Structure 1
Amino acid sequence: MNDAFLRLCLIAIAAITVISGAAQMIAGQTVMAIIATSATPTEVHLFATIGMFMVITGAMFLQSLLTRSPESAIPLWIAVQKLAAAILVAMAFANGYFRWLALGVAGFDALSAALAFLFWQRMPR
C-alpha cells in the first residue's frame, strides 16, 4: 500500500470516527438500540461520553493528516486507542452487552489500528 493511499484511507477513517462519535452524542439511544442489548439512561449517557471522545480524537487525527503533521505521537496513540476499542467492543459482545452487529465495529477499529500503526511505522523519526 503506497503512502498516499494509506493517508487517504486514514483520512476517511478519521472522518468516520468524527461522524460516528457525533451520532453517539446526538442519537445515542437510537444507535444503542441497533447494537446494544440494553439502553438505560446511564448507559446512553456513558455512550454519548465515549462519542465525545471519538469526535475529539477523530478530529485531531483528521487535522494532523490533512496538515501533514510530522508529530508521530498522534498516529501512534490513535492506533493504540483503536486497538483498545476493538478489544473492548469484542469483549462487550462476548459478555452479551452488544449484538452481533458490534463485531463489525470491532473489526473496523482493528483494521483502523493496523493502518494507523503502519502509517506511524513509516513516519520519519
Structure 2
Amino acid sequence: MSTLAVRVRQDLLRSAVLTIAAITVVSGLLQLLAPAFVLTLVGGSTTPTTEHFFAIIGMFMAIVGGLVLHAELASDSREVALLWGALQKYGAAIAVALGVGRGLFGALALLVAGFDLVSGGLMTWHWRRTRH
C-alpha cells in the first residue's frame, strides 16, 4: 500500500474518531441535562431513580467523549487524561451528593462523594503541576 493511501486511511480514521467523540459529548450532555426527555425518546420509564442514573451515564459519556476528543487534538495526552479524570471525579461527587439529596442513597454514600471530591482535587492539583 502506498504512503499516500496509508495517510488517507489514517486521516479518515482520525476524522471518524473525532466525529464519534463529538457526538458522544453532545449526546452525553443531552442525556445529563434532559434525562427524562431522552428516556422518553428511547422508550424508557421515567422515575426519579431512572432519571438520576441516566443523567449520571450522560455525565460519563460527556466526559469520556471529551477526553477522547481532547486527547486526539492535544500533543500531550497525559495532561488531558488528568484533566478529564478530575472532571469525572467532580461529576461523580456531585451525582452521589444529588442522589443523597433526592433520597436515592443513604447518608453514608456521602463518604463516596467525599472521596471522589478529594480525588478530583488531587488530580487537579497534579494536572496543574504537570502542565507545560
TM-score between both structures, scaled by the size of structure 1: 0.53
Aligned equivalent of 1:45: 52
Aligned equivalent of 2:70: 63
How large is the RMSD of aligned CA atoms in angstroms? 1.9
Greater relative contact order, per chain length (Cα 8 Å cut-off, separation 6+): 1
Which 5+ residue runs of structure 2 have no aligned equivalent?
Answer: 1-7, 82-132
Aligned equivalent of 2:18: 11
Which 5+ residue runs of structure 1 have no aligned equivalent?
Answer: 75-125
Question: Radius of gyration: which is bigger?
Answer: 2
Find the aligned partners of 1:40 and 1:34 in 2 and give their Cα distance: 14
Q: Secondary structure at the match of 1:56?
A: helix
Bigger mean CA deviation after superposition, 60-69 or 31-40: 60-69
1:18-97 mapped onto 2 (5 Å cutoff): 18-67=25-74
- Quickly say closer, same or farther: Cα 1:39–1:49, change in 2 above 3 A: same
1:80-119 mapped onto 2 (5 Å cutoff): none
Residue type of the alignment partner of 1:35: V
Counting aligned pairs with the same residue, the percent is 40
Find the aligned partners of 1:52 and 1:39 in 2 and give their Cα distance: 18
Q: Give the superposition deviation at 1:2.
A: 0.2
TM-score between both structures, scaled by the size of structure 2: 0.50
The alignment of Structure 1 onto Structure 2 pairs a total of residues equal to 72
